[in-house]
Amino acid sequence: MPIKSNYTSTDIQAIFNRIAPVYDRLNNDLSLGIHWVWKQMTVSWSGAKSGDTCLDLCCGSGDITQLMAKQVGAKGTVIGADFAPAQLENAAARIADIYPPLDWINWVEADALNLPFADNYFDAATMGYGLRNVTDIPRCLAELHRVLKPNAKVAILDFHRPNSNLVRRFQQWYLAAIVVPKAAQLGMTDEYAYLNPSLDRFPTGREQVQLGLDAGFSHATHYPIASGMMGVLVLTK
Ligand SMILES: C[S@@+](CC[C@H](N)C(=O)[O-])C[C@H]1O[C@@H](n2cnc3c(N)ncnc32)[C@H](O)[C@@H]1O
């Protein structure tokens, strides 16, 4: 797939179906495993607790879904939702190896812009590296607001453009000089070249806060992490 300035939902679905076989290995190698810490922080910030019914939207291969499942325990329920079936197959295969089984996870093929869940259904929600990829952020936030119970939270982890020019230049260098070549070794050059333009277009933390409030959330806070190269947006209904 050639590098474009505008990606449709179908393009994005195709990219994530195609990268599914290498996605986990790249995440672990490129972040030196630190993404697990950020993902655990995201679950904590969602406020999920034992026995809750939770959503992990844009779950991909299910890292956050698994952490959320451990957080809510066997009395809870976690739905991992994504629109790329290859990612969901991978996610299901990964939990098949876990003992005792996390059988309170359900995998659902769903579009983040049109969620197949009732209003006021979830006690908490997470989304990791998904908001930057949806084609309509206000609509995705409105859907999250709709499916959460009153006072429930969603914690949204994603890349962020740091305020410091020096750190931003480091981030751009890292993506171009380390991430894309590493992906190229695995035959995924074009798919990972998509990362930098998607980050250029992604709203800043302050803009994300405003988008959250516009979607109807009563409280919105953006927590920069990793020197501002990542961030977690926490929204309360
Ligand atoms: C970068 S991956 C993140 C996966 C996982 N949450 C993680 O943190 O490792 C983004 C995921 O968002 C999904 N996605 C993008 N747009 C979507 C949409 N409109 N509806 C559902 N899933 C979507 C992709 O299929 C992909 O699996």
pLDDT at residue 56 in the model: 98
Contacts of 11 (CB under 8 A, 6+ apart): 1, 4
pLDDT at residue 3 in the model: 43
- Give the pLDDT confidence of 31-74 residue by residue, as tens digits: 788 899 999 999 999 999 999 999 999 999 999 999 999 999 99
pTM listed for this prediction: 0.93
pLDDT at residue 5 in the model: 52
When pLDDT is cut at 50, 70 and 90, the band that residue 8 belongs to is confident
Whether pLDDT at 22 is above 90: no
Order the strands of the 230-236 sheet from edge to edge. Answer: 105-109, 77-82, 53-57, 122-128, 148-159, 230-236, 219-225
How far apart are the C-alpha atoms of 90 and 29, rounded to whole Å? 18
How far does the centroid of ligand 1 lie from the alpha carbon of residue 58, in Å? 4
Whether pLDDT at 229 is above 80: yes
Higher pLDDT, 178 or 146: 146
Atom 7 (ligand 1) nearest CA: 128
Domains and CATH numbers, the chain: 9-236 (3.40.50.150)
Residue whose CB lies within 8 A of the most ligand 1 atoms, among 83, 117, 127, 147, for a mutation test:
83
How far apart are the C-alpha atoms of 51 and 163, rounded to whole Å? 39
How far apart are the C-alpha atoms of 223 and 20, rounded to whole Å? 28
- Give the pLDDT confidence of 68-82 residue by residue, as tens digits: 999 999 999 999 999
Q: What percent of the chain has pLDDT over 70?
A: 97
How far does the centroid of ligand 1 lie from the alpha carbon of residue 133, in Å? 7
- Mean pLDDT, range 94-104, rounded to an integer: 86
Look up tokens 């962020």; give the residue.
160
How far does the centroid of ligand 1 lie from the alpha carbon of residue 225, in Å? 20
pLDDT at residue 157 in the model: 97
What are residue 168's phi and psi, to 5 degrees? -65, -40
User: How many beta carbons lie within 10 A of that of residue 116, not counting itself?
Assistant: 11
Whether pLDDT at 17 is above 50: yes
Whether pLDDT at 4 is above 60: no
- Give the pLDDT confidence of 173-228 residue by residue, as tens digits: 988 898 888 888 877 777 777 788 889 889 999 999 999 999 999 999 999 999 99
- Give the pLDDT confidence of 152-171 residue by residue, as tens digits: 999 999 999 999 999 999 99
Whether pLDDT at 125 is above 60: yes
The mean predicted confidence, pLDDT, of the chain is 91
How far apart are the C-alpha atoms of 190 and 205, rounded to whole Å? 27
Ligand 1 neighbours, Cβ below 6 Å, are 9, 12, 16, 58-60, 63-64, 82-84, 87, 111-113, 128-130, 133-134
